[in-house]
Structure 1
Amino acid sequence: MEPMNSMFRRGRSLRALLIAFALACAGVAAVVTGAASPSRADTSICAQYGRAVAGSYVVQNNAYNEPGTQCVNVSSNGFSITESDGSVATSGAPKSYPSIYNGCHYGHCSPGTALPKRISSISSAPTRISNTYVGNATYNAAYDIWLDPTAKTTGVNQTEIMIWLNHVGSVQPVGSQTGTAGINGTTWAVWTGNNDSRNVISFVAPSAMSSVSLDVKDFINKTISHGLATTSWYLTSIQAGFEPWAGGAGLAVNSFSATINGSGSSTTGGSTTGGSTTGGTTNGGTTTGGSGTGGTTGGTGSGSGCKVTYTPQTWPGGFTANVTITNTGSSTINGWKLAFALPSGQSITSAWNATVSPASGSVTAANAAYNGSIPAGGNTSFGFQGTYSGSNYTSPNSFSLNGTACAR
Structure 2
Amino acid sequence: MIARILAALATLAAATAMLTGPAHADVVICEKWGSTTIQGGRYVVQNNNWGDDTTQCIDVTDTGFTVTQAVHDKPQNGAPGSYPSVFAGCHYAVCSTGSGLPMQASDARFAGVRTNVTFRYPSSGVYDAAYDLWFDPTPRTDGQNTGAELMIWLHRTGSVQPVGSRVATVNLAGGTWDVWFGNIGWNVVSYVRTAPATTIDFAVDTFYGDAVSRGYAQRSWYLTSVQAGFEPWVGGVGLAVDTFGYSTGGVPGDTTPPSAPGGLAASGVTASGVGLSWSASSDNVGVVGYDVLRAGASGAFAVVGSSGSTSFGDAGLSANTTYRYQVRARDAAGNVSAVSNTVTVTTTGGGGGGGCTAVYTQTGSWGGGFQGQVIVTNAGATATTGWRVTLTFGGGQTVTQVWNGRTSQTASPYTVTSETYNGALAPGASTTFGFLGTWTGTNPAPAVSCARTP
TM-score by length of 1: 0.66
Question: For each residue in 1:309-338, what CA deviation from the matched residue of structure 2 results, as whole angstroms up to 9, or x when unmatched?
Answer: xxxxxxxxxxxxxxxxxx931542335999
Aligned residue for 2:50?
Answer: 64
Aligned residue for 1:51?
Answer: 35
Q: Is the 8 A contact 2:261 2:340 kept in 1?
A: no
Equivalent residue letter for 1:159: A
Structure 2 residue 87 is matched with structure 1 residue 98: no
Aligned residue for 2:63?
Answer: 77
The whole-number CA distance in structure 2 between the counterparts of 1:377 and 1:135 is 54
Give the deviation of 1:37 after TM superposition: 2.7
**Compared with structure 1, are the counterparts of its residues 101 and 305 closer, same or farther at alpha carbon in structure 2 (3 Å cutoff)?**
farther
The whole-number CA distance in structure 2 between the counterparts of 1:142 and 1:407 is 47
The whole-number CA distance in structure 1 between the counterparts of 2:282 and 2:266 is 13
Q: Does the residue aligned with 1:219 lie in a helix, a strand or coil?
A: helix
**Compared with structure 1, are the counterparts of its residues 403 and 67 closer, same or farther at alpha carbon in structure 2 (3 Å cutoff)?**
closer
Structure 2 residue 114 is matched with structure 1 residue 126: yes
Which residue, 117, 122, 138 being the options, matches 1:150? 138
**Compared with structure 1, are the counterparts of its residues 68 and 59 closer, same or farther at alpha carbon in structure 2 (3 Å cutoff)?**
same
Equivalent residue letter for 2:34: G
Aligned residue for 2:181?
Answer: 192
The whole-number CA distance in structure 1 between the counterparts of 2:140 and 2:340 is 25
The whole-number CA distance in structure 2 between the counterparts of 1:375 and 1:13 is 30
**Compared with structure 1, are the counterparts of its residues 185 and 46 closer, same or farther at alpha carbon in structure 2 (3 Å cutoff)?**
same
Give the deviation of 1:303 after TM superposition: 5.4
Aligned residue for 1:176?
Answer: 165
Q: Is the 8 A contact 1:224 1:231 kept in 2?
A: yes
Aligned residue for 1:253?
Answer: 241
Gaps of 5+ in 2: 268-274, 294-299, 301-305, 314-322, 328-338, 346-454
Aligned residue for 1:224?
Answer: 212
Structure 2 residue 221 is matched with structure 1 residue 233: yes
Equivalent residue letter for 2:100: A
Q: Is the 8 A contact 1:129 1:213 kept in 2?
A: yes
**Compared with structure 1, are the counterparts of its residues 72 and 219 closer, same or farther at alpha carbon in structure 2 (3 Å cutoff)?**
same
Question: For each residue in 1:258-303, what CA deviation from the matched residue of structure 2 results, as whole angstroms up to 9, or x when unmatched?
Answer: 1221xxx24xxxxxx1xx42xxxxxxxxxxxxxx23x344555x55
**Compared with structure 1, are the counterparts of its residues 184 and 378 closer, same or farther at alpha carbon in structure 2 (3 Å cutoff)?**
farther
**Compared with structure 1, are the counterparts of its residues 174 and 333 closer, same or farther at alpha carbon in structure 2 (3 Å cutoff)?**
same
The whole-number CA distance in structure 2 between the counterparts of 1:42 and 1:19 is 29
Q: What aligned pairs does 1:359-398 form with structure 2 within 5 A after superposition?
A: 375-377=309-311
Structure 2 residue 316 is matched with structure 1 residue 332: no
TM-score by length of 2: 0.60
Q: Does the residue aligned with 2:116 lie in a helix, a strand or coil?
A: strand
The whole-number CA distance in structure 2 between the counterparts of 1:215 and 1:22 is 28
Q: Is the 8 A contact 1:54 1:77 kept in 2?
A: yes
The whole-number CA distance in structure 1 between the counterparts of 2:101 and 2:13 is 23
Aligned residue for 1:386?
Answer: none
Q: Is the 8 A contact 2:280 2:310 kept in 1?
A: yes
**Compared with structure 1, are the counterparts of its residues 35 and 253 closer, same or farther at alpha carbon in structure 2 (3 Å cutoff)?**
same
Q: Aligned-pair RMSD on alpha carbons? A: 3.3
Aligned residue for 2:101?
Answer: 115
The whole-number CA distance in structure 2 between the counterparts of 1:177 and 1:36 is 39
Q: What aligned pairs does 1:268-287 form with structure 2 within 5 A after superposition?
A: 273=252, 276-277=253-254
The whole-number CA distance in structure 2 between the counterparts of 1:219 and 1:246 is 29
**Compared with structure 1, are the counterparts of its residues 203 and 378 closer, same or farther at alpha carbon in structure 2 (3 Å cutoff)?**
farther
Q: Is the 8 A contact 2:265 2:343 kept in 1?
A: no
**Compared with structure 1, are the counterparts of its residues 22 and 186 closer, same or farther at alpha carbon in structure 2 (3 Å cutoff)?**
closer
Q: Is the 8 A contact 2:99 2:247 kept in 1?
A: no
The whole-number CA distance in structure 1 between the counterparts of 2:67 and 2:90 is 22
Q: Is the 8 A contact 1:333 1:376 kept in 2?
A: no
Give the deviation of 1:21 after TM superposition: 2.8
Gaps of 5+ in 1: 267-272, 278-291, 307-326, 341-361, 363-370, 380-396
Q: Is the 8 A contact 1:190 1:201 kept in 2?
A: yes
**Compared with structure 1, are the counterparts of its residues 162 and 406 closer, same or farther at alpha carbon in structure 2 (3 Å cutoff)?**
farther
Aligned residue for 1:35?
Answer: 19
Question: For each residue in 1:72-106, what CA deviation from the matched residue of structure 2 results, as whole angstroms up to 9, or x when unmatched?
Answer: 01111211101111311001000000000011111
The whole-number CA distance in structure 2 between the counterparts of 1:235 and 1:35 is 21
Q: Is the 8 A contact 1:36 1:108 kept in 2?
A: no
Q: Does the residue aligned with 1:334 lie in a helix, a strand or coil?
A: coil
Aligned length: 300
Q: Does the residue aligned with 1:115 lie in a helix, a strand or coil?
A: coil
- The answer to which structure, 1 or 2, has the higher relative contact order (CA under 8 A, 6+ apart) is 1
Q: Is the 8 A contact 1:36 1:58 kept in 2?
A: no
Aligned residue for 2:342?
Answer: 405
